[in-house]
Chain A
Amino acid sequence: MLTFLVRRIATIVPTLVFVSMLIFGLQQLLPGDPAIVLAGEDQDPSVVAYLRAKLHLDEPLPVRYLYWITGVLQGDLGESMRLQRPVLALILEKLPVTLELAAMAILIALAIGIPAGIISAIKRNSAWDYAANVIALWGLSTPNFWLGIMLILLFSVTLGWLPASGFVSPFEDLKANLASLIMPAFVLGNAIAAVLMRHTRSAMLQVLSSDYVRTARAKGLSERSVILIHALRNALIPIITLGALELGTLLSGAVLTEQVFTIPGFGKLIVDAVFNRDYAVVQGVVLFTATAYIVLNLLADVAYVIVNPQIRVQ
């Protein structure tokens, strides 16, 4: 297990180096002198001079990268021009909101996707199977920001059951917190539920046709325990790995969902930064997201090894 971990961590190091180069390279896309563009509309000469010195713009590109990456490794992701605060502090401040939203979205996706996938597989080619497939296609094809607007129209404007926007901290009022997050979490979970459903269906179909499931049935076990204890347990292995790939969808989706529901999270931070041309924040958020995505995928791989004894033995 330790060898596996070391080997797997060794493979993500070059990826992280290339990610950092890619994100550093984004700055080179800015038209004209980056110091003037980054200084914003005022273009105060003292700010331009400060930025030129801070970003080492008079140095060659590789040297500038080395300065930048050294700062990043010390936790310095730059400073927000608009808010005059370190980017890392801003990210860490907004992250808990997005994490709560993401956790609720994952719960919703699991609650819909896995049962729908199981039913679809055990009732293959039935009306249930077709209905589940239609729901999956719906989930994959619906733009989540539009679904958000439609839910606001139904549950906030027409029925008046839920707040249309805003966020209440769980430490202030848990009920109001859940009410403010349930719609955005459903919007975010919807697309992932569709993918999970497809993965669960195909994994269950494969497992259900295997010999040990036939043996379990031959032993006289109830269909319920064959499916839930014997089949699902093994089908979950590929679902974990493939599900982890959906973390990107979750993070991308959070950007739009937080915008629709005016949730002050990680996604809204990047959108506000884009609107205000606060490029250091954009760069910092992308770097943080990519690193988080790589690390979460590593954890998913570790989970895969833990739940799959065959790989552990190998």
Chain B
Amino acid sequence: MATVAAALPASAPARPAVPRAHPFRRLLRRRGAAVGLGVIALFVVLALLASFIAPHDPLATSWTAIRKAPNGAHWFGTDEIGRDVLSRVVWGARASLLAGVVSVLISLSIGVPVGLLAGYAGGTVDMLISRVTDAMLACPFLILAIALAAFLGPSLTNAMIAIGISATPVFIRLTRAQTLAIKAEDFILAARAIGNAPWRVALRHVLPNVVPALIVQATLAIAAAVIAEASLSFLGLGQQPPEPSWGSMLNTAKNYVDSAPWMAVWPGVSIFVLVLSFNLVGDGLRDALDPRQA
């Protein structure tokens, strides 16, 4: 060892004193991302344990408690048919998180294989996939989602499918661009030179290198999907009444903004906080996974 060290030229770059930290640790070092992660964890707990945490049945109506301002019994007040707003906000977290995650999983499950195929195969396949992607990207995201949800029929499941399909072209384009860049690397040439089948090179060597960019995009896409689900529910195309959803709660609340403003405040604050958290984590992940920031 000593011989090797002595043989190194004096000008050789010194090895970093501290090894590069794990990306997750680097993420947690960013205050915004750490807070965002904590808030998301809180919402996940709320969604999973809604039946234990919600103080009332979110569907139970009470004609004696119509549009009551926040009080000891109903911390966030009650709605136009006497349902507890806090309980509906807690249960609404389930619809929002479910829609956010499932929509992005749909986008990933279509976008990644198709993008990988376009980038790796090239030629006519790439040209065709790219043209279809361009066409989908030409339709503004929410308008495409509204149109798809309208034709599929209003329900939370169809809203998730509509959002997932509308967000797919972004993942196709990202995966394709990353694949094209990675395909030109020497290690891919080496993997092909030793006789690996094309699918094996794509899945075992290209795909793992696309994952960091996909994680960042998926986190930001969840934020967009949460807003999109709330928007579709606000328009009556997502979660159907009486099931609680933040978007549909706001749709009702806008009719009572002068007499019961609390009905509009809490679902909106919840969407804002959850989306902000995903955006903070997405920004943090972008920095943490960027080798230049290490």
Residues of A within 8 A of B (CB): 14-16, 18-19, 21-23, 26-27, 29-31, 137-138, 140-143, 145-146, 149-150, 152-153, 157, 164, 247-249, 251-253, 255-256, 259-260, 270-271, 273-275, 277, 279, 282-283, 285-286, 289-290, 293-294
Contacts and interface: CB of A to CB of B under 8 A. Distances in A.
Name B's interface SS.
helix
Nearest to A259: B235
B253 interface: yes
Given A141-B275, A153-B261, A157-B257, A19 B143 contact: no
Given A252-B141, A256-B231, A289-B143, A137 B279 contact: yes
Contacts of A27: 151
A140 B279 contact: yes
Looking at chain B, what size class is its interface with the partner chain?
Answer: 35 or more
Contacts of A286: 139, 143-144, 147
A282 B150 CA distance: 8
A272 to B, nearest CB: 11
B193 interface: no
B16 to A, nearest CB: 25
B141 A248 contact: yes
Interface in B149-184: 149-153
A273 B144 CA distance: 14
B136 interface: yes
Contacts of B231: 143, 145, 256
A298 to B, nearest CB: 11
B218 interface: no
B272 A142 contact: yes
Interface string B212-240: 00000000000100010011001111000
Contacts of A274: 146, 149-150, 235-237
B139 A22 contact: yes
Nearest to B234: A145
B276 A15 contact: no
B22 interface: no
Contacts of B272: 141-143, 146
13 contacts: A15-B138, A18-B131, A22-B136, A27-B151, A140-B279, A141-B275, A143-B271, A152-B257, A157-B257, A270-B146, A271-B146, A286-B144, A293-B140
A303 to B, nearest CB: 19
A15 B268 CA distance: 37
A256 B139 contact: no
B143 A270 contact: yes
Contacts of B227: 143
A149 B253 contact: yes
Nearest to B227: A143
B264 interface: yes
Given A140-B279, A274-B150, A255 B142 contact: yes
B67 to A, nearest CB: 14
B290 interface: no
B36 to A, nearest CB: 10
Given A29-B148, A152-B254, 9 more contacts: A18-B134, A31-B153, A137-B280, A143-B271, A146-B271, A149-B250, A271-B235, A274-B149, A274-B236
B264 A149 contact: yes
A153 to B, nearest CB: 5
Contacts of B250: 143, 145-146, 149
Contacts of B132: 18, 22
B258 interface: yes
Interface in B92-119: none
Contacts of B151: 26-27, 29-30, 279, 282
